[in-house]
């Protein structure tokens, strides 16, 4: 290498590092790729919040829906909740997974803050959460009509997340419709 | 009397944290307990990402430890347990992920960097040796002047 060009080496290294570091600014280090993307929703049989019946996987499979993992001890869930009420009111099917919570507290939460959920699955021991690879609430899964998990969002679902990520995917699933036969 | 006091003082050095076991499981076989320890060191907490599950008291780590205990007692082998965890949390959950397309960078980077370092070191050493052998390119008079200037500055200091 010509000696003059060698002088630019530090600049070059700086530029390359800057590109990597700049990219790092917009990455969320906490976000993990879900191992369950494009995998079927795990089987479960758990109580429904506030009811004397059990809910199974086949009860919620059949149309594209959101599965929202929440709990009353989770501060971000409180931030997220009003927005879920909004999109729930627009007719988006949302199922709640009440993760490691107390039933009474969860029911109070829903009466006080509104209930956007079709039904709430009571996951008191976190077993369904474990099968889903949940590592913290809130998490929101997008499940298609065949019961296959298509997307996971970790963290609060707000206007921006819904508009830019979840809604386009959801619309796409609606367009795809219900393919022949229901798996599982 | 003196030794007794010394013993008591030594006891103060025992760190309290070492005794703060998060929870203990009773194993039916000491060998299981050993495997439990090894696996809990090797599994990574998905929430607090730079800790293993033995180290972390996040609720998710407690769950994973409980699960690990149950599976060990149920007679699962290490491979089965790791597969189970990976199926739910991805390769991320292992501190020693399996070698595949994505983790290849992780496994090969140290070897690659070591080789690059060796090559770089050899090149640098070689060019340095070459420079040392080369004449400086100064004339006899210039050399003389340089030496006298150097002497002067040395005397000053």
Task: Find the distance separating the first CA and the last CA of chain A, reported in whole Å.
Answer: 63
Q: Mean pLDDT for each consecutive 10-residue tract of chain B (157 residues)?
A: 80 61 78 90 86 86 90 91 91 88 88 96 89 72 87 77
Q: 3-state class of B43 per DSSP?
A: strand
pLDDT of chain A along its 184 residues, tens only?
567 888 899 999 999 999 999 998 888 777 777 888 889 999 999 999 989 899 999 999 989 999 999 999 999 999 999 999 999 999 999 999 999 999 999 999 999 999 999 999 999 988 899 899 898 889 999 999 999 999 999 889 999 999 999 999 999 998 876 555 444 4
- The answer to whether A70 and A77 are in contact (CB under 8 A) is yes
Sorted by where each begins, the domain ranges of chain A are: 32-176
Task: Give which of B88, B101, B123 to mutate to test A binding, by max A Cβ within 10 Å.
Answer: B88
**pLDDT at res. B19:** 45
Write phi, then psi, for B32 (nearest 5 degrees).
-65, -40
Provide the ipTM. 0.74
> Could you tell me which residues of chain B have a Cβ less than 8 Å from any Cβ in chain A?
46-47, 49, 59-60, 63, 67, 86-90, 92
The topology under which CATH files domain A32-176 is Glutaredoxin (3.40.30)
B43-73 pLDDT, tens digit each: 988 888 788 888 888 888 888 998 899 999 9
Which residues in B lie closer than 8 A to residue A35 (C-beta atoms)? 86-90
The topology under which CATH files domain B14-93 is Helicase, Ruva Protein; domain 3 (1.10.8)
How far is the CA of A30 from the CAs of A33, A150, B53, B68, in angstroms? Answer: 10, 20, 16, 24
Sorted by where each begins, the domain ranges of chain B are: 14-93, 104-156
């Amino acid at each position: 290498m010509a000696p003059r060009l060698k002088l630019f080496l530090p600049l070059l290294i700086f530029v390359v590092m800057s590109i990597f570091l700049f990219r790092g600014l917009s990455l969320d280090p906490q976000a993990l790729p879900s191992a369950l993307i494009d995998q079927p929703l795990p089987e479960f049989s758990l109580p429904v919040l506030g009811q004397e019946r059990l809910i199974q996987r086949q009860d919620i499979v059949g149309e594209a829906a959101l599965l929202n993992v929440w709990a009353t001890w989770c501060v971000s869930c409180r931030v997220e909740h009003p927005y879920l009420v909004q999109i729930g009111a627009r007719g988006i099917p949302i199922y709640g997974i009440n993760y490691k919570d107390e039933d009474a507290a969860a029911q109070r939460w829903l009466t006080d803050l509104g209930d956007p959920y079709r039904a709430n699955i009571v996951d008191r021991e976190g077993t369904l959460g474990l099968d889903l690879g949940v590592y913290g609430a809130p998490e929101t899964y997008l499940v298609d009509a065949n019961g296959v998990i298509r997307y996971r969002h970790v963290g609060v679902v707000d206007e921006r997340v819904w508009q830019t990520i979840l809604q386009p995917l959801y619309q796409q699933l609606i367009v795809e419709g219900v393919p022949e036969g229901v798996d599982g | 009397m003196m030794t007794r006091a010394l013993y008591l003082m030594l006891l103060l050095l025992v760190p309290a944290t070492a005794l703060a076991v998060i929870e203990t499981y009773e194993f039916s076989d000491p060998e299981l307990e050993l495997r439990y320890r090894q696996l809990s060191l090797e599994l990574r907490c998905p929430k607090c990402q730079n800790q293993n599950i033995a180290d972390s008291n996040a609720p998710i780590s407690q769950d994973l430890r409980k699960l690990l205990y149950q599976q060990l007692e149920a007679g699962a082998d290490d491979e089965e347990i790791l597969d189970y965890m990976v199926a739910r949390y991805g390769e991320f959950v292992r501190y020693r992920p399996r070698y595949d397309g994505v983790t290849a960078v992780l496994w090969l980077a140290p070897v690659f960097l070591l080789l690059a370092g060796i090559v770089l070191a050899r090149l640098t050493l070689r060019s340095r040796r070459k420079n040392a052998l080369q004449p400086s390119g100064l004339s006899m008079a210039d050399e003389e002047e340089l030496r006298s200037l150097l002497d002067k500055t040395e005397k000053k200091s």
